[in-house]
Structure 1
Amino acid sequence: MSSPTPSQTPYKLIFFTPPTSLSACKSAIFSTSLCGAFPLPNRPDTIGYKNVCWETTGTGQFIPGEDSTPDIGERGKLEVLEEVRVEVQVRGRENVAVVVEALKKAHPYEVPVYEVYKMEDF
């Protein structure tokens, strides 16, 4: 099996959001049509599945700093809240940048928390 070309290299985007913003964040990233889509085996030009992601709920915390403008919480006070962790695959580094930008525009936090990992195909 050959290695993926740079535009096909798989990445995983993970982000955290309050449950009230989950739908808006997912709509934003999936509207790019660049993530959460998988071809059918041996048919790379097809889209077998769309809007594929994994989610789990957990607890996050932060203290907004004096210079922040928090959407949730108050400056200088510990905020503990339920958050949803969402994982989605994106193929191609250039596509990751587009998807992350869409996420940032939809996300309620002043500084959205997200991670991007380069993955390997086996």
Structure 2
Amino acid sequence: MAMTRFKLVFFVPATNTGAVLDHLFSRFPQHVGKIGNYERCAFFSRGSGQFRPTTGANPAIGVVGELEHVEEDRVEVLVHDEKLVAGIKDVVEELKKIHPYETVAYDVYKLEDI
């Protein structure tokens, strides 16, 4: 039976992309970014993100009540889900712990073999 695979997509300030990826690759070396005989595989594209922190927010960047624009990377990595060792939920939980933002913007896509 083939292992379930997911694509994890998240957005991170461009200055933090390397550190976040290094952490995930080191924490889950057999599960994140491994494609065949290649490891630490990722795709990222640069863009601008915007947000306005509201009352009660504790922003890592920006000021409550003011619109902020940040140079961010959209990062895409393959995640092999092996529930007995590490799964997609473990990877997302770790991402939330180490990401600089209070609330992480991410998407998870289940992949199918065709």
TM-score by length of 2: 0.89
Structure 1: runs of 5+ lacking an equivalent? 40-47
1:89 alignment partner in structure 2: 78
Correspondent of 1:35 among 21, 32, 37? 32
> Which has a greater percent of strand?
2
1:52 alignment partner in structure 2: 41
1:114 alignment partner in structure 2: 106
How many aligned positions are there? 109
Larger radius of gyration: 1
Letter in structure 2 aligned against 1:26: L
Question: Identity over the aligned pairs, expressed in percent?
Answer: 42
Correspondent of 2:12 among 7, 10, 17? 17
Give the RMSD, CA atoms, in angstroms: 1.3
1:70 alignment partner in structure 2: 59
Letter in structure 2 aligned against 1:76: G
SS at match of 1:64: coil
Is 1:24–1:106's contact at 8 Å kept on the other side of the alignment?
A: no
1:104 correspondence with 2:93: no
1:91 and 1:50 mapped to 2: Cα distance?
12
State the 1:92 CA deviation: 1.6
1:120 and 1:68 mapped to 2: Cα distance?
38
Query: Which piece of structure 1 moves more, 64-73 or 20-29?
Result: 20-29
Structure 2: runs of 5+ lacking an equivalent? none
